[in-house]
A and B are shown apart, each in its own frame.
With several copies, the nearest count.
Chain A
């Protein structure tokens, strides 16, 4: 029973060793395709992160008219805003908070002193800060809010914020499709390489059938071989991704081009990437072997 379980594993390792040249070829095909996939993964995840950051950072500032400072009036405005479709979160900020926030903006204590007297005769508005579910309908939501009675003015960064969000979204979609397609191609490529490796051994498979080995018995060591090759092939991409990303993060200081694009911190992100690469490597090795062996099992009777 135990030997039933261990035989394919032992045989799989033997197989890799005794076909060293072919195993290296297959593993390096895995390595290269995983490298490509890794670049796309890191790019996609970061892009997703950017988009989320940007969408969260663009919020609509709603200033309430001085004539609507009673609690009940303000509450009604808050509820009205919350009822608009597409609104994610509504946060209230009183005119006192706003004033304090304004003061906090100065670094110089002296300058704070200058504005201190205005605290009594506060020129700020009570405000709501509204974030939207989907950055791309920012403008629609903002326009609706502007209609509400008691809203003095709104500010949402205008057209430029909308354009940016839309651009990021379309890059993300396009990039995602591209990454998915390339990953599929890469997987097919590895499968293809493994098929060639097994093709070179179709004679062996036929001989195994000749001496009475059932298909499952023949297949299992090849599957283990495929997994081993997948693991071997993913070592270099994993190392490169992990250390490469950490290095990149360090020299880029965690941002790309400008502070707006904050990179995902390496920990635990690199572990996630490494894990995904390992899983892809193993799965593709397994699946690739499975289909290839099956093909050649039918080659002779």
Chain B
């Protein structure tokens, strides 16, 4: 499903964010990616999303060589995946409802179906009453949940989430985790989740990949992680 082969990423300013990453994630897996700040987690996600091109090596997702995609084909590829960005990336001039609906309009879904589905996911993330608010009128945690709702709206094959609970309180984090686990279980969605929340990682044990300075330093199949300081 997801496969990185000797993938490295060096930014134009000379930072080696990822070094020779080899990684295979099967369909239906739920994987945490953890690591200290600046260790390359978001860069890994940007490679999977096609936003950045690997400096060397290959990135394959749903059978597509993401790094070699033509610019105009990138959006089509992205319909297979849902991404929760660390900085949310909501359209500032669209309401919450419209933001989520936009991700469904692009795949040409019928209008009434869109309305239904948007209501559904807004309910799932607990934002029923914020449909008409603009992103600037939301709290940090509410914006984050809109980003989650948008990413899962079109039932993508792969869900990639960059710190989806970073701005949520523990109770809400647990709810979101439950939601992601349910999607993973019921829809067989492959989930890759970057997080700093060690209590969460230890509570819901999953395969855990540990990044440090651009290298994979651990790949714990049984999950759980004890901090070594």
**Residues of A with Cβ closer than 8 Å to B?**
3-4, 7, 15, 18-19, 203-204, 206-215, 217, 298, 300-301
Judge whether A210 and B79 touch: CB under 8 Å. Answer: no
CA gap between A131 and B108 in the complex, in Å: 66
* Known contacts A18-B93, A298-B71; A208/B102 CB under 8 A: yes
Judge whether A211 and B93 touch: CB under 8 Å. Answer: no
A250 to chain B, nearest CB (A): 47
Count contacts on B: residues with CB < 8 A to the other chain: 29
Judge whether A212 and B75 touch: CB under 8 Å. Answer: yes
Judge whether B106 and A301 touch: CB under 8 Å. Answer: no
**Residues of B with Cβ closer than 8 Å to A?**
49-53, 71-72, 74-76, 78-79, 83, 85, 89-93, 102-103, 105-108, 110-111, 150, 154
Taking CB atoms, residues of chain A closer than 8 Å to B50 are 301
Judge whether B83 and A213 touch: CB under 8 Å. Answer: no
CA gap between A18 and B91 in the complex, in Å: 12
Secondary structure class of chain B's binding surface, majority of residues: loop
CA gap between A295 and B168 in the complex, in Å: 36
Judge whether A211 and B111 touch: CB under 8 Å. Answer: no
Judge whether A207 and B76 touch: CB under 8 Å. Answer: no
Judge whether A214 and B76 touch: CB under 8 Å. Answer: yes
Taking CB atoms, residues of chain B closer than 8 Å to A207 are 89-91
* Known contacts A301-B50, A301-B51; A209/B74 CB under 8 A: yes
* Known contacts A217-B106, A301-B53; A204/B75 CB under 8 A: no
Q: Which of A7, A15, A206, A209 is close to B105, meaning CB atoms less than 8 Å apart?
A: A7
Judge whether A215 and B72 touch: CB under 8 Å. Answer: yes
Judge whether A214 and B89 touch: CB under 8 Å. Answer: no
CA gap between A28 and B78 in the complex, in Å: 38
Closest to B151 in A: A211
Judge whether A211 and B51 touch: CB under 8 Å. Answer: no
Judge whether B105 and A212 touch: CB under 8 Å. Answer: no
A3, A203, A207, A298 interface centre (most CB from chain B within 10 Å): A207
Judge whether B111 and A215 touch: CB under 8 Å. Answer: no
Judge whether A211 and B92 touch: CB under 8 Å. Answer: no
Judge whether B91 and A204 touch: CB under 8 Å. Answer: yes
Taking CB atoms, residues of chain A closer than 8 Å to B74 are 209, 301
Judge whether A212 and B78 touch: CB under 8 Å. Answer: yes
CA gap between A298 and B71 in the complex, in Å: 8
* Known contacts A208-B91, A301-B52; A213/B75 CB under 8 A: yes
